């Protein structure tokens, strides 16, 4: 390989590594964006188009001792 090819390969590797780090930082910022503390400890469950299996799961969830709202 010539010096020019080595320089191009090093530059490509640098850009790949930089993009990977930048992507990781961006994902880390948004990974907990939807998490927050709530005053209300109710677990809210929604079932849409689940049929009989969903109905059974809903009854099972509501039968727990936790504060669950369907």
**What is the band of 34 on the pLDDT scale with cuts at 50, 70, 90?**
low
Structure tokens at 63: 């039968």
The residue written with tokens 């640098």 in the block is 14
Query: With bands split at pLDDT 50, 70 and 90, how would you rate the model's confidence at 60?
Result: confident
The full set of domain ranges for the chain reads 1-35, 37-70
Q: pTM, whole model, 2 decimals?
A: 0.37
- pLDDT digits over 5-29, tens only? 777 788 888 889 899 888 888 777 6
Q: Measuring CA to CA, which residue among 31, 23, 60, 29 is closest to residue 43?
A: 60
d(CA 51, CA 7): 61
């Amino acid at each position: 390989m010539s010096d020019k090819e080595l320089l191009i390969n090093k530059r490509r590797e640098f850009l790949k590594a930089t993009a990977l780090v930048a992507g990781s930082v961006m994902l880390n910022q948004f990974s907990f964006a939807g998490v927050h503390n709530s005053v209300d400890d109710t677990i809210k469950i929604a079932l849409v188009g689940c049929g009989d299996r969903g109905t059974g799961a809903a009854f099972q969830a509501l039968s727990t001792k936790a504060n669950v709202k369907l």
